[in-house]
Structure 1
Amino acid sequence: MTATINKSTTTKPPAPLSVRLSRLWGGVITALTLVLAAAWVFPMYWAVVTSVKPDDETVAAPPTLWPQKFDFSSYSYIFQNSPIVRWYINSVLTAVLITFLVLLLSILCAYALSQINFRGRTWLYWLVLAGFMIPFQASLIPLFIFINKLGLVNSYTGLVVPQLAAPIAVVIYKQFFDQVPHELGDAARIDGASEWRVLFGIFLPLNWGITVSLGIVTFIAAWNNFLWPFIVMNDTAKLTIPVGITQIQSAYGVAYAKTMATAVTAAVPTVVAYLIFQRRVTEGVMATAGLK
C-alpha cells in the first residue's frame, strides 16, 4: 500500500506597498543617473571622435557618430603649426606655482586664525568668509585696471598673483586645525618648539590628506582656468592651453577637427590626474563643499 504525500504549495506573500514603491523609486533614480551620465560623457566622446575625423566629415550632414575613416593628421598639424608645446609648458608652470602658493598661504593664514591669539583675529576671519560672497567675475574689471596700473598685464606675475586668493582653502584648513588637540601644540611649545615647528611638524602632518586633496583640486582648477588668462594675456607665446584652443580656431578658420584635437590634448593631464587620484579629488570636492 503506497502512501501518497500531498505537498502543499506555499505562495509567497506580495511585498508590502512601501517596499515596491522603494524599488520603483530606486529604478527611476538608476535610470535617471544613467541618462545624466550619458549626457555628461557624450560631449567628451564627441570631441575625441571629431578630432580623428577628416575635415570634410566634420561638417557632413547628417553627422556621423563614428568616423568612416580615422584621420590623425589634426594632431600632427597642431604640433607642427602652433606653439602648443609652449602653451603646455606655460600651463604646467603656472598651475604648479599657483597650487604651491595657494596651499602655502592658506596653511599659514589658517594656522594663525586657528591657533594664534591676536587682536582682530575674529574680524579677519569674517573678512575671509566675506570672500565667498564676492564672485570673481564681479571684481574682474577693477582687478584688471589695478594689474594694468602696476604694469603686469601680459606677464606671468599678473597671471598668477590674482589667482592666489583662495578663502575656501583657508576656511577648510582652519576647520581641520581646530580639530587638532591644543595639548599637542602646547607640549611642543613647552619643549621649545617655535610656531613654525608646531605648524609644519605637528599640525600639517596630521592634515596631510586634506593637503593632497586640495592640492589636486587647486591644480585642476588652475589648469582649466580660462577667463583671467584670456583677459590678462595677449602674447600668443605666453598663453595657457585653454586660451590657446581659441587661437587655433581663430588663426586657422573653422577647423573642428584641429580644435577638438587641441581640446583633447589639453584635457589629457586633468583626466590622468583624476583617474590616478580619484579618491583624493572626491575628498577635496567634499571638503570644498563643506562636508567632513
Structure 2
Amino acid sequence: MATQTLTRPAARSASAPRLRQPRTKMTAGRTAVLAVAAILAVLWLIPFAWATATAFKSETDAAAPKVSWIPPSGFTADAFVKVFQDGNIPLWTWNSLYTSAAITVITLAISALVAYALSRIDFRGKKVLMTVIIASIIIPPPVLIIPLFYQMVALHMIDTSWAIILPQVIHPAMVFVLKKFFDQIPRELEEAAVMDGASRMRIFTQIILPLSRPILAAVAIFVFISAWNNFLWPFISTNDGSILTLPVGLQTIKSAYGIQYAQNMASALLAALPLILVFLFFQRQIIKGVATTGLAGT
C-alpha cells in the first residue's frame, strides 16, 4: 500500500508536462496562422483601400505626381457621376445578373447529374470519361475561344444572351468536386430507398441533393463569381450594347483626355461591389463549402 501511494504522485508529475506540451504547440501554431492570415488580409486591403480613395478623388488629384491618401481638394463623387452619365450601368448590371444566374443554375444541373452518374452508375467508358474530365481541367480557357466562336456563329447565336451563357455552363472542375463529395455519401441510404421502390432520379433529388447542400452552395457561388468576372468571352461574342455585361460595358467608357484614374477606379469598384455583397451574405456557405470540399477530397 505504501509503495502505491509513493509511485502515483511521481507518475502524475512526470506525465503532466507531456500533456501540456501539445496544447502549447497548438496555441503557438494557431497564433502563427492567425498572424499570417492578418498580414495577408492587410496586404489585400491596402490596394482595395487605395482604389476606393482614388475613386473618390478628382481627376487632377488622382493624376498628381505626389502620392497622397487624402486629396488636397477633398473627396468627391464626380468619377461615379461621370461613369453613370457615360454608360448604362443599370442595364449592364441586369445583364450580368441574369446571365450569371442562368449560367449558375444550368451549370449546377449539368454538373450534379454528371457527377452523380460518375459516382454511382457503372457504365462502359466511365474511366475514360473521368480521365477526359480531369484532363480538361488543365486546358486554358483562351484556347477554346476560337472554336466556341465559330460554333456560336454556326448556331446564329452571336449578339445574343445565349452566346454568353452556353459556352460557360461546362465546368469540369465542378464535376470533379461534386463527384468527390457524392462518393462520401453512404450507399446504404440509396439501397434502403431502392428497397422502398424509389427510382434513381427520386433518390438523386430527394436524398443526394439535400445531403449536398453545403457543396452545392459553394459551387453555385464560385460559378456565379466566375461568370460575373468573365470579360474576354462576353467581349468577343457580343457587339450589341443592349446585352453587354457590366465588365464589358464599363470598358466602353473611354475619355478623349487619356487615362482617367479616378473614373477607372470607380468603374472597378462598381464591378466588384456585387461580388463583395455576395461574399458578405454567403461567407458562411463559402467557408463551409471549401472545408467540406477539402474533406471530400481526402
Out of 107, 110, 123, the residue aligned to residue 105 of structure 1 is: 110
2:61 is matched with which residue? 57
* Identical positions, percent: 39
1:145 is matched with which residue? 150
How far the C-alpha of 1:164 sits from its partner, in A, is 0.8
- With normalisation by structure 2, the TM-score equals 0.82
Matched, 1:77 2:82: yes
1:88 is matched with which residue? 93
- Spell out, residue by residue over 1:171-208, the C-alpha distance to the aligned partner (whole angstroms, 9 max, x if none): 11111211222221122122221111100100111111
| CA spacing shift, 1:50–1:84, aligned 2, 3 Å | same
- Spell out, residue by residue over 1:255-286, the C-alpha distance to the aligned partner (whole angstroms, 9 max, x if none): 22222212111211111111222232234445
| CA spacing shift, 1:252–1:180, aligned 2, 3 Å | farther
Distance (whole Å) between structure 2 residues aligned to residue 189 and residue 32 of structure 1: 50
Confirm or deny: 8 A CA contact 2:87 2:250 kept in the other structure: no
Matched, 1:136 2:141: yes
SS of alignment partner, residue 159 of structure 2: coil
Distance (whole Å) between structure 2 residues aligned to residue 196 and residue 262 of structure 1: 45
- Equivalent residue letter for 1:145: Y
1:190 is matched with which residue? 195
Distance (whole Å) between structure 1 residues aligned to residue 177 and residue 97 of structure 2: 25
Q: Which moved more, 1:133-142 or 1:49-58?
A: 133-142
| CA spacing shift, 1:255–1:124, aligned 2, 3 Å | same
Q: Which moved more, 1:278-287 or 1:238-247?
A: 278-287
| CA spacing shift, 1:48–1:253, aligned 2, 3 Å | same
Confirm or deny: 8 A CA contact 1:185 1:198 kept in the other structure: yes
| CA spacing shift, 1:30–1:285, aligned 2, 3 Å | closer
2:266 is matched with which residue? 261
How far the C-alpha of 1:149 sits from its partner, in A, is 2.6
How far the C-alpha of 1:101 sits from its partner, in A, is 0.7
- Equivalent residue letter for 1:240: T
Distance (whole Å) between structure 1 residues aligned to residue 251 and residue 42 of structure 2: 27
Matched, 1:42 2:83: no
Confirm or deny: 8 A CA contact 1:169 1:288 kept in the other structure: no
Confirm or deny: 8 A CA contact 2:86 2:253 kept in the other structure: no
How far the C-alpha of 1:96 sits from its partner, in A, is 0.6
Matched, 1:120 2:125: yes
- Spell out, residue by residue over 1:143-173, the C-alpha distance to the aligned partner (whole angstroms, 9 max, x if none): 2222223222222111111111111111111
Distance (whole Å) between structure 1 residues aligned to residue 246 and residue 137 of structure 2: 28
Confirm or deny: 8 A CA contact 2:58 2:76 kept in the other structure: yes
Distance (whole Å) between structure 2 residues aligned to residue 196 and residue 115 of structure 1: 12
- Equivalent residue letter for 2:254: Q
How far the C-alpha of 1:95 sits from its partner, in A, is 0.7
**Number of matched residues?**
273
Out of 66, 72, 75, the residue aligned to residue 70 of structure 2 is: 66
Distance (whole Å) between structure 1 residues aligned to residue 252 and residue 201 of structure 2: 46
Out of 233, 253, 257, the residue aligned to residue 238 of structure 2 is: 233
- Spell out, residue by residue over 1:215-263, the C-alpha distance to the aligned partner (whole angstroms, 9 max, x if none): 1111111111112112212222221111222112367852222222121
Distance (whole Å) between structure 1 residues aligned to residue 258 and residue 108 of structure 2: 40
- Equivalent residue letter for 2:175: V
1:220 is matched with which residue? 225
- With normalisation by structure 1, the TM-score equals 0.83
Confirm or deny: 8 A CA contact 1:158 1:232 kept in the other structure: yes
| CA spacing shift, 1:179–1:26, aligned 2, 3 Å | closer
Distance (whole Å) between structure 2 residues aligned to residue 119 and residue 208 of structure 1: 30
Confirm or deny: 8 A CA contact 1:95 1:219 kept in the other structure: yes
2:216 is matched with which residue? 211
Instruction: List alignment gaps of at least 5 residues for structure 2.
Output: 1-26
Matched, 1:280 2:291: no
| CA spacing shift, 1:198–1:34, aligned 2, 3 Å | closer
